[in-house]
Amino acid sequence: MDPRLAGVRKRLAGIDRIIAVTGGKGGIGKSVVSVSLSLLLAESGLRTGLLDLDLTGPTDHVLLGLDFGEQFPSEEFGVDPMLVGGVRFMSIACFSKQSPAALRGRDVTNALIEMLAITRWDELDVLVLDMPPGLGDTSLDIVRLLERAEHLVLATSSRVVLETVRRTLDVLAQLRTRVLGVLENMKSDSSQAVEQLASRFSVPYLGSLPEDSSLELATGTAESLVRTPTARALREVISAVFPQVRGS
Amino acid sequence: MHEFALADAVISAALETADKQNLSHITAIAVRIGELQQIDRETFEFALKEVIPNSEPRLAGTSITLEVQHASFRCRACEAEFTLDQTRGPLVEDQLEAIHFIPELARAFIRCPDCRSLDFELLTGRGVSIDYIEGE
Ligand SMILES: Nc1ncnc2c1ncn2[C@@H]1O[C@H](COP(=O)(O)OP(=O)(O)OP(=O)(O)O)[C@@H](O)[C@H]1O
Ligand SMILES: [Mg+2]
Ligand SMILES: [Zn+2]
């Protein structure tokens, strides 16, 4: 018996909602949305956590502009998340710093369980999970270990993205996961393809975020990230999901 | 793995088992853990005392043993087999600390002592398991 699983259940017991930002395709804005969503929720007074689950390619610390220096997260009865922009944040990069780690499937599962077992989130209203691209070990483990996670599926209207997102939605449906809805990113035209895809799977279409040339400049500063056109649109979208978040 | 997280996990698992099997007292718990986790025995024992609720009669006087399984590796590139001790030389304290928290970070810092490859198998010495929980 792996006692870590009981440990994980206990560690996550004080968390009200878990939202996994996913999509299957790489580079469609999962990390930008995870980080911005966390910052906006925290700004609205919700106790918010962010866990970067892209274990081989973590980037949330870059978006947040976190410099780990020599320090490890503080520890007492477990490991404390770091605090940035009001968000409690944890990433494998808090430990590996600059060093890359190439992981095979079983390592991914083990590292994920380990992080969930050691991190002390305490009480949270929302824990946001930034998922890696692909439909692999991390996705399956999150579905298996965190049944109550709600999946926020990101998509763009590009045909290659739609093809992958379609497969992701299909798998999520077969696994009987909860899909919060589909969020369209980098919207630059009037295509309705993403909306149509959502309706094919009978999941809500949550709205869209614009193609936003200011994002790169805002990267690395939490205060700037919540003031981008993307964040403004995202605030509107999530105000429908979280009544505590007020749109403009 | 962090000693407190381990202690917490072991006690949670034991209590879940006691609930499931209707045990009124847990007499013994045997924990096996990989060397890679670098669990400090004293810290673990201290952590157990902290996490066992005082008001929990089922865990009064329970014997909890910890067995450490030696870590061994096999390189996928040159097939050399090696131990954690053989790789310790170049590791600095921070790297060992990172591996303690997340043992998979061995892949970030440990290299095959023969060919320097980062692609190796962990033959033994990873993982946390409870071999048995005894009770009545
Ligand atoms: N709405 C947008 N407008 C313009 N650029 C965007 C938008 N959203 C994200 N980007 C940019 O796209 C790039 C990829 O974003 P991000 O890293 O968030 O994607 P991802 O889905 O997390 O990628 P991966 O699959 O590699 O984890 C980044 O440079 C980001 O700034
Ligand atoms: Mg990402
Ligand atoms: Zn080798």
From A6, A77, A96, residue closest to B108, measured CB to CB: A96
Q: Would you state the structure tokens that stand for residue A120, as one six-digit string?
A: 């002390």
Measured CA to CA, the distance from residue A242 to residue B5 in angstroms comes to 32
Shortest CA distance to A116 belongs to which of A151, A137, A141?
Answer: A141
The crossing angle, in degrees rounded to 10, of helices B3-21 and A105-118 is 90
Instruction: Residue A169: name the closest of A17, A25, A2 by CA.
Output: A25
Number of Cβ within 10 Å of residue B47's Cβ equals 23
Q: What is the structure's pLDDT at B26?
A: 96
pLDDT per position in chain A (248 positions), as tens?
999 999 999 999 999 999 999 998 999 999 999 999 999 999 999 999 999 999 999 999 999 999 888 788 888 888 999 999 999 999 999 999 999 999 999 999 999 999 999 999 999 999 999 999 988 999 999 999 999 999 999 999 999 999 999 999 999 999 999 999 999 999 999 999 999 999 999 999 999 999 999 999 999 999 999 999 999 999 999 998 888 888 76
The answer to whether A81 and A89 are in contact (CB under 8 A) is yes
Report how far residue A143's alpha carbon sits from residue A152's, in angstroms, rounded to the nearest whole number. 13
Burial track A3-14 (b if 16+ CB lie within 10 A, e otherwise): bbbbbbbbbbee
Please identify, by atom number, the ligand 1 atom nearest to the C-alpha of residue A28: 21
**Are A128 and A50 spatial neighbours (Cβ–Cβ below 8 Å)?**
yes
Mean pLDDT for chain B overall: 93
State whether residue B126 sits within 8 Å of chain A by CB. yes
Option in A8, A99, A103 nearest B104 (CB): A103
pLDDT number for residue B89: 79
B30 and chain A in contact, CB less than 8 A: no
How far is the C-alpha of A167 from the C-alpha of A169, rounded, in Å?
6
Give the gyration radius of chain B's Cα atoms. 18
Amino acid at position A25, single letter: K
Which pLDDT belongs to residue B122? 93
Structure tokens at A149: 């996670």
Q: If contacts are CB pairs under 8 Å, which of residues 4-23 in chain A contact chain B?
A: 4-11
Look at phi and psi of residue A28 and say left if phi exceeds 0, alpha if psi is from -120 to 50, else beta: alpha
Are A84 and A222 spatial neighbours (Cβ–Cβ below 8 Å)? yes
**Mean pLDDT to the nearest integer, B104-126:** 94
| pLDDT score at A243 | 83
Report yes or no: B37 and B1 within 8 Å, Cβ to Cβ.
Answer: yes
Residues 43-62 of B with CB under 8 A from A: 47, 50-51
Q: What is the pLDDT, as a whole number, of residue B91? A: 81
Q: What is the CA radius of gyration of chain A?
A: 17
Ligand 1 pocket (Cβ < 6 Å) reads: A 26-32, 54, 57, 59, 133, 185-186, 209, 211-212, 215-216, 230
In this prediction, residues B36-41 reach a mean pLDDT of 92
Picking from A138, A205, A136, A148, the residue whose alpha carbon sits closest to that of residue A177 is: A148
Rounded to an integer, the average pLDDT of B77-105 is 91
The whole-angstrom separation of Cα A35 and Cα A222 is: 9
Q: Which amino acid is at A148?
A: R
State the DSSP H helix or E strand holding residue A40, giving kind and residue range, or none if neither.
helix A30-43
Closest CA to A178 of A18, A38, A43: A18
**CA A66 to chain CA mean position, Å:** 17
| Ligand 1 atom 9, closest CA | A29
Q: Is A30 helix (H, G, I), strand (E, B) or coil?
A: helix
* Four-residue CA torsion sign, A136, A142, A147, A152: negative
**Using an 8 Å Cβ cutoff, are A22 and A183 in contact?**
no
Query: ipTM for the complex?
Result: 0.92
pLDDT for the residue A248: 60
B2/A78 Cβ within 8 A: yes
Q: What is the DSSP letter of B66?
A: E
Q: How far does residue A33's CA lie from ligand 1's centre (Å)? A: 8
Beta carbons of B67 and B30 less than 8 angstroms apart: yes
Q: Which letter, b or e, does each residue of A56-89 get, where b requires 16 or more Cβ atoms within 10 Å of its Cβ?
A: eebbbbebbebebeeebbeeeebbbbbebbbbbb
pTM for this structure? 0.96
Task: Provide the 3-class DSSP secondary structure of residue A15.
Answer: strand
Question: What is residue B115's three-state secondary structure?
Answer: coil
- Tokens representing B19? 């609930």
Q: Which atom of ligand 1 is nearest to the CA of A26?
A: 25
